[in-house]
Amino acid sequence: MVVPQAQSAVIERLGRFRTVASPGLTFLVPFLDKVRARIDLREQVVSFPPQPVITEDNLTVSIDTVVYFQVTDSRAAVYEISNYIVGVEQLTTTTLRNVVGGMSLEQTLTSRDSINTQLRGVLDEATGRWGIRVGRVELKAIDPPPSIQDSMEKQMRADREKRAMILTAEGQRESAIKTAEGQKQSQILSAEGARQATILAAEAERQSRILRAQGERAARYLQAQGQAKAIEKVFAAIKAGRPTPEVLAYQYLQTLPQMAQGDANKVWMIPSDYGKALEGFARALGAPGDDGVFRYEPAKDDDVPAKPELEDEEVADWFETKSDPKVAEAVAAAEAVARQEVPALGVPSSAPPARPQIPRPQQQQQAPAPEPEADEDRGTEVTPAPPKQASTPPAGLPQPQSPLQSQQHSGPPQGGSYQGPPPQTPPPGQFGGQQQNPGSGPFPQQPPFGGPRR
C-alpha cells in the first residue's frame, strides 16, 4: 500500500490497532491487515454556519466563525472521538456563547481579537486529547438584529453628521479668522494709504496757499507801487496847474449831474456854503495874488520831502519765481513797466512844470479892497473874496452865480432830483476841462490834493 504525502493511515490487524502508516510504501498481510482510516495531516479550515448568540445586554447577534486546526495524532483522532470535525464545531459554538455572553454588543463588535484569543485557548485545551491542535479562531461576521442595525445606522449617521458639522464649523472658523486677518491687513494698508494721501494733499494745499499768498503779496506790492507813481504824477500836475476857486467851482458844477444820476439818489440837497468851503480850501493851499484871488504856490524843490524807498531788501525775494520761467518773465516785465517814469500832463519830464496862463477879462472898474472882517469863531481876520461882479468870465464859461442864487435857480424841484446844468466845455488850456470818465466825486479823475502847507 502506498500512503500519499501529508496523510497517514491507521492499520488494524484482526480488528486490533496495529500501526499508523506514514507516507510511502507499506506492506499489508492479506486477510489479516486492514486500513481503518486515512487522516489528512494538513491544517484544515472549517467554516461553521452562523450561530445565534445572546450578549450581556440581551441582544441576539448572529456570529459566523472560522476554525483553523490540524491533526497531530492520527490514532487519537480515530479512537478518542468518533467525528472530530463535529466535535470542534460544537465546542466552538458553546465556547463562543460563553465568551460573548459576558460582553455587550458594542464590546462584541469592537473586541474581536479578545474573542479569538479566548476561543483558541479553550478549544486548544479541549481538543488536545483528541489529537487536534487549534491554530486560529476567527469571527467572520457579527450580525445584530435589523432593528439594532437601523439604530446603529442612525447613530452612525448622527456621528458622521456631527463630525461633518464639527469639521464645517472648524472650517468656517478658520475661514473667518483668515478673512478677518485679511480685512485687518487691508484696512491697515488702506488707512496708511489714506494717511499718506491726506498728508500729501495737505502739503500740496499748504504749498498752493503759500505760493498764492506770495503771488498776491507781490501783486499788491506792484499795485501799490503803481498807485504811488500815479499819485505822485497827478500831484505834480496839480501843483503845476495852480488851480483857483473859480476852476474848483466849475469842476464841482460839472460833476453835479453825475452825482445825481445814482439809482438810490431820490432827493439831493445842494449845500449853500460850498463857495465858502472852496475859499477856505484855497486859503489853506495858497496866498492871495494881486487881484485878490487865492492861488496855490508849489513848494520849493528843497522843501519837497524825499520819496520813500519802494524797494527793500526784505521784499527782494518776493518776486523769485524759479519754478516757472514764464512767471518770472511776466513779473519782470510788469516790474519794468511799473518803474518807468511817467511824464507830467502836458509838460516834458525834463523841463520844470510851467504855470498855465488863465485868460482874464479886463476890469471895467477897480473895486476897493474890502476891509478884513474878524471871524468870531476862530478869532482871526478873514479877508473876503473879491466880488463876483468885478470880473466877467471868458467866453465859453457859464455866468458865475452866488451860492444862494445857485440854490434858488438850480436847486432840485419839489418831488424830483436835481439834474444840474448842461455840461459845457471850458476853453482850451483851462485846467479842469471836460472829464473823459467822470466819477462819483467832485474830482473824478484826480485824487485829492493838498497836504501840509509848506
| Amino acid 386: pLDDT | 47
Considering the domain architecture, whether residues 59 and 95 belong to the same structural domain is answered as: yes
Long-range contacts from 209-216, C-beta under 8 angstroms, 24+ separation: 214/318
Q: Grid coordinates in use for 72? A: 497531530
When the pLDDT of each residue in the chain is averaged and rounded to a whole number, the result is 72
pTM attached to this predicted model: 0.37
Closest to 230 measured CA to CA, from 25, 446, 66, 450: 446
| Amino acid 362: pLDDT | 44
Q: What is the pLDDT of residues 203-232, one digit of tens each?
A: 999 999 999 998 898 899 989 988 998 888
Dihedral pair phi/psi, residue 42, rounded to 5°: -80, 165
Q: Tell me if 426 is assigned to some domain.
A: no
Counting Cβ atoms within 10 Å, is residue 225 exposed (0-12), middle (13-18) or buried (19+)?
Answer: middle
Considering the domain architecture, whether residues 126 and 52 belong to the same structural domain is answered as: yes
> Which region among 87-96, 108-117, 241-250, 418-427 has the lowest average model confidence (pLDDT)?
418-427
* 452 or 217, higher pLDDT: 217
pLDDT above 60 (res 94): yes
Q: Which distant-in-sequence residues (6+ apart) come within 8 Å of 42 by Cβ?
A: 6, 70
Q: Tell me if 403 is assigned to some domain.
A: no
Distance CA 183, CA 189 (A): 10
Considering the domain architecture, whether residues 69 and 116 belong to the same structural domain is answered as: yes
Considering the domain architecture, whether residues 122 and 65 belong to the same structural domain is answered as: yes
Q: Tell me if 323 is assigned to some domain.
A: no
pLDDT above 90 (res 129): no
pLDDT above 70 (res 29): yes
Region 271-292: mean pLDDT is 60
Q: Tell me if 292 is assigned to some domain.
A: no
pLDDT above 50 (res 376): no
Q: Taking each helix axis from N to C terminus, what angle separates 112-126 and 84-100, rounded to the nearest 10 degrees?
A: 140
- Domain-ending residue, one of 93, 128, 144: 144
Distance CA 220, CA 210 (A): 15
Q: What's the domain count of the chain?
A: 2
- Domain-ending residue, one of 124, 144, 164: 144
Distance CA 84, CA 131 (A): 9
Considering the domain architecture, whether residues 3 and 58 belong to the same structural domain is answered as: no
* 400 or 52, higher pLDDT: 52
- Asked if 442 and 251 touch (Cβ cutoff 8 Å), the reply is yes
DSSP 8-state code for residue 238: H
Q: Tell me if 31 is assigned to some domain.
A: yes
Considering the domain architecture, whether residues 129 and 68 belong to the same structural domain is answered as: yes
Q: Grid coordinates in use for 200? A: 500729501
Considering the domain architecture, whether residues 99 and 136 belong to the same structural domain is answered as: yes
Considering the domain architecture, whether residues 4 and 36 belong to the same structural domain is answered as: yes
Q: Tell me if 9 is assigned to some domain.
A: yes
Considering the domain architecture, whether residues 64 and 32 belong to the same structural domain is answered as: no
Considering the domain architecture, whether residues 52 and 23 belong to the same structural domain is answered as: no
| Amino acid 288: pLDDT | 64
Distance CA 298, CA 451 (A): 11
**Coil, strand, or helix at residue 301?**
coil
| Amino acid 305: pLDDT | 46
Helix (H) / strand (E) element for 143: namely strand 132-143
Query: What single string gives the DSSP state of each residue in 50-92?
Result: PEEEE-TTS-EEEEEEEEEEEES-HHHHHHT-S-HHHHHHHHH
Classify 296 in phi/psi space as left (phi over 0), alpha (psi -120 to 50) or beta: beta
Q: What is the pLDDT of residues 343-355, one digit of tens each?
A: 554 544 444 444 4
* 430 or 23, higher pLDDT: 23
Counting Cβ atoms within 10 Å, is residue 117 exposed (0-12), middle (13-18) or buried (19+)?
Answer: middle
Considering the domain architecture, whether residues 3 and 84 belong to the same structural domain is answered as: no
How confident is residue 359, by pLDDT bands cut at 50, 70 and 90? very low
Q: What is the pLDDT of residues 143-197, one digit of tens each?
A: 888 888 888 888 889 999 999 999 999 999 999 999 999 999 999 999 999 999 9
DSSP-H helix ranges across 242-357: 245-259, 274-285, 325-338
| Amino acid 433: pLDDT | 41
Distance CA 115, CA 63 (A): 11
DSSP 8-state code for residue 302: T
> Which residues constitute the domain of residue 22?
1-41
- Domain-ending residue, one of 92, 115, 144: 144
Q: Grid coordinates in use for 86? A: 463535529
Counting Cβ atoms within 10 Å, is residue 38 exposed (0-12), middle (13-18) or buried (19+)?
Answer: middle
Query: What single string gives the DSSP state of each residue in 370-426?
Result: PPPEE-TTT-SEEPPPPPGGG--PPTTSPPP--HHHHHHHHSPPTTS----SPP-PP
Considering the domain architecture, whether residues 24 and 87 belong to the same structural domain is answered as: no
- Asked if 334 and 219 touch (Cβ cutoff 8 Å), the reply is no
Return the CATH number at 65.
Answer: 3.30.479.30
How confident is residue 135, by pLDDT bands cut at 50, 70 and 90? confident
Closest to 228 measured CA to CA, from 345, 309, 285, 317: 309
- Asked if 47 and 35 touch (Cβ cutoff 8 Å), the reply is no
Q: Tell me if 84 is assigned to some domain.
A: yes
| Amino acid 13: pLDDT | 86
- Asked if 42 and 72 touch (Cβ cutoff 8 Å), the reply is no
Q: Tell me if 16 is assigned to some domain.
A: yes
* 338 or 435, higher pLDDT: 338
